[in-house]
Every structure is written in C-alpha cells, then in structure tokens.
Amino acid sequence: MTKVEDLLELLNLKSVDVNVFQGYNKTVGSPNVFGGQVLAQAINAASQTITNSRVLHSMHAYFLEAGNLELPIIYNVALVRDGGSFSVRRVTADQNGKTIFILSASFHKKEDGYNHQIDINTKVKQPEELMSWTDMLEQFGDAIPKKTKGFIEIERPIEFKPVEVVNPFNKEDLPPFTNVWFKLKGDTSNLNLASKQQILTYVSDYNILAAAMNRHASKAHWGNTQTASLDHSMWYFRDFDFDDWLLYSIESPNTSNARGFAKGNIFTRDGKLVASVAQEGLMRPLNS
C-alpha cells in the first residue's frame, strides 16, 4: 500500500451475508495481522449496518488471537440496540471458525451541547523540522537495527514523523511519552466522516506502545520484548480533515505484570482535539 486509496480498499469490506462481511489482509512488517487493520475493518462492518446517519463516538475492543495474514477475516455484526439517541453494535472477527477479536461500537445522533477540550502542546517541533521514517531509512539505514529496519522499509499509505527519536544504542531510560506527526499519502479531499474515522482508527494502533517501551529503554527494545495489542479503546470527538499533518501525543502511565498501558490524544495541527485512545499491550521480556 502506498496511498490512501489502497488503504480504503483494504478497509472497505465485502458483504457476504446479512450483517456478515469479509476482509483481507496487508502486512505492515510484522508476522501477524496488524491490529489497526482489524480495528478499522470491524468499524467498517459495524458502520455498514447503521442506516440512521448516526456517527461513531466510541469503540472498545479485545484482541484474542493473533491474526493469520494468509486467511480472510469474517466479521459478524450483532445489532445490539437502536435507541432514541444511540445505536450499539457488537462485532466478532473469525478466522477458520475461531474468534480472534471482539469489538463494541456506539453511534450517536448529532446533537448540540457543551464543548471543551485540552490544549495541544505548542512546544513540540513542527513536522517541517523533523525527519520521516523514510528519511531516517535513507540517511541511517545501515545503522538501524535489523528488525526495526525491516519494519520501516514496508511501504505505507501514511508518513510518520516522530518528534522524539530514540537512539537504540543509547542504553538509557527515557520519559514515558512520545509525539508523532502523521499524514496520509494521496488524495484525501473526498473522504466522508465514517471513512476518516476508520482511517484514524487504523493509524491509532501505530506507535502507541512505544511510550511504554521508552521508560525501560536501558534494557528493553523491540528485539528482546514480545509485544502485542491486548485491548484498544477509542473516542471520537470532532470532524476533521486529513489535508495536513495530525499530531498523536502519547503517554504511558504504567507498566506492570508484563503489560504496558498507554493513552493518547490526536490533534489537528491547529489544535483541534479529534480523538483519544487507550491501549494495554503485552510487554513480555524475552531471554536475550
């Protein structure tokens, strides 16, 4: 995948029966199906059963099994409730008859009400001052650890520019946060809100556990730690556009019991808070 059109093709599922949808997989450089893909495809499946113009405002999901890249994923949607203001859907994702993932999503009719948000960190460097993953690969490719290099070599429809760049050769613990700018490649001018939310969900599974890993960088890295998304929650606040860079600001309040917890906020460049994310992931030390 190299542009947003490729990503939309991946996320837009085919209907195979009443409230049953099928999706296929694209690797992001890991041996299993990318969690963000399953999250976004499940949201797409749920959205296809919403016929009253309600807008996704939250979702909560659990990853039960690693997804097999070679097998299609079947998404079954249960219409839990269509109330006066909210519609709730439950989605299960199956491969070979085994449930690998479950998700609940809530959709809300448009209403006016009170409005406030936290402020964006205005002190972070702007994307024009930073190197992208592609720039880092071109400039430091030979010095990047093999596993990390293999991951960032995969072509993606998203460009990432981290504000804080971790040097893997400096064995020192770092503050438990990270900020990453991201931007879609390709034409984003005709995206509707549902598609934008699904793409944002896909992106939200990138980078989030890095904040938890930073706190233990003197001894932990992606090569000696088994990591996997365990659960993922997201709240969608405001409409937005993908025509400029967005900032994913992430912090990790806790790691314990071989699990890391992180939460993040996604802002437009002009400071509009569009979504918040929370995830707990496996962080299991391996024998070096």
48 is catalytic: no
pLDDT surpassing 60 at residue 288: no
**At how many degrees (to 10) do helices 193-204 and 35-47 cross?**
160
pLDDT surpassing 70 at residue 125: yes
pLDDT at 223 (0 to 100): 82
Spatial distance between the Cα atoms of 160 and 106, rounded to a whole number of angstroms:
29
| Of 41, 229, 249, 276, catalytic | 229
pLDDT surpassing 70 at residue 10: yes
Looking at every residue in the chain, the average pLDDT score rounds to: 94
Amino acid code (one letter) for 266: I
Give the max Cα distance, the chain: 58
> For the residues 84-111, what does the mean pLDDT come to?
97
132 is catalytic: no
pTM for the structure as a whole: 0.95
Spatial distance between the Cα atoms of 172 and 219, rounded to a whole number of angstroms:
8
Contact status, residue 260 vs residue 213, Cβ threshold 8 Å: yes
279 is catalytic: yes
Q: How confident is the model at residue 220 (pLDDT cuts 50, 70, 90)?
A: confident
pLDDT at 167 (0 to 100): 76
| Of 95, 198, 204, 279, catalytic | 279
pLDDT surpassing 70 at residue 257: yes
| Of 205, 249, 252, 276, catalytic | 205
> Tokens 């070096």 label which residue?
288
Contact status, residue 151 vs residue 221, Cβ threshold 8 Å: no
Using only the alpha carbons of the chain, give its radius of gyration: 19
List, in sequence order, every residue forming a beta bridge with 181; answer none if it has no partner. Answer: 161, 247
Q: Residues of the chain with pLDDT > 90: what percent?
A: 84
Spatial distance between the Cα atoms of 225 and 260, rounded to a whole number of angstroms:
12
pLDDT surpassing 90 at residue 109: yes
Contact status, residue 13 vs residue 41, Cβ threshold 8 Å: yes
- Decide: helix, strand or coil at residue 8: helix
